[in-house]
Amino acid sequence: MHVPARSLSTAAFSALPLLLCLGVAPALAQSSSVNAPPPAFPPATAPPAAAPAQPAAVVAAPDSAAPPATATPPAYAPPPGYGYPQPGYYPPPGYYPPPGYYPPPGYYPPPPPAGPPAGYHEHDGFYMRLSLGAGYLRTSATVLGSSQTMSGGGVAMNFAFGAAVAHNLVLFGQLSLTSVSEPTIKTGSSSHTTPSTSVSLIGMAPGVAYYLEPLNLYLSGSVGLSMVTYDSNTNSSSDSSSTELTDWGFGASFMAGKEWWVSSNWGIGAATMLNFASMNMKDYDTRMTATSISLLFSATFN
């Protein structure tokens, strides 16, 4: 069979790479084994195992980056007792709870403490002042051209009854008495004391009192009628006599005091009272004047 020369040359050219590979590969393997460097470790010792490679961090593309994480704010904790009345707390008068305010189920707040009753520690309504203490009395008159005085210390009393007509303002009527036992009687330049006798200044008058708060101080004054009497007392009641030395005449009194509350309407206190009077004498055509000053302890209802 005749094969064309062109076909043989083409087939030889196609097989040339295969032949090169078969001839060159063993030579390269032998050359590599002859020229290879000695191992870094003795043959008996195996090299240590390399640490496992860490995976490389993956960086997200800018266009696909996730939004930065934000810290979650802590939950709001209301203060203790929020929305509920506290023990002992009472809202002021006229207070209304805000919208959304609900007491806990079954909760009923205790009632607010009761306030003071009407008229507590106030000067209003009926007024009564009872006073008792000690006083000094002196009377003076000119009898038959000779000056005559009677003086001494004794008991003083004052009783007032009335009502408050405005805040801290009281109108009243009062009866007052200052009595001296065994007064010293002085006529001209001589003086003597008569046993079992007494001289008294009596007064009746309307008056007014005003209290200064919160000190509970008061000022009081009255203008009315006054009289001086002379009493002679013996062991026998049949021998006792009372003589009116004067007619009813002009009388005035002034008082200043302080009281302390001891209950809702009662107060106790102390006061100083000054009395002045001027009257006609019954048996002589002359006038008698009388003055007294007293220290009183009082109990007042108002």
Q: Which of 42-56, 171-185, 198-212, 258-272 has the lowest mean pLDDT?
A: 42-56
Q: Which residues pair with 287 in a beta bridge?
A: 280
Residue 128: both structure tokens together: 């009564």
pLDDT at residue 8 greater than cutoff 50: no
d(CA 198, CA 184): 10
- Residue 182 in contact with residue 144, Cβ under 8 Å? no
Find out whether 271 and 296 touch, Cβ atoms under 8 Å. yes
Q: Could you tell me the fold of the domain covering 126-301?
A: Porin (2.40.160)
The lowest-confidence range among 50-59, 121-130, 223-232 is: 50-59
Higher pLDDT, 188 or 168: 168
pTM for this prediction: 0.60
Locus of tokens 């929305």: 83
Radius of gyration of the chain (CA): 62
Pick 124 or 107 by higher pLDDT: 124
Contacts of 122 (CB under 8 A, 6+ apart): 302
User: Taking residues 9-28, what's their average pLDDT?
Assistant: 54
pLDDT tens per residue, range 145-177: 889 999 999 999 999 999 999 989 999 999 999
Distances (CA, A) of 204 to 96, 132, 223, 281: 57, 16, 8, 18
- Higher-scoring residue by pLDDT: 51, 158: 158
Amino acid 259: pLDDT: 95
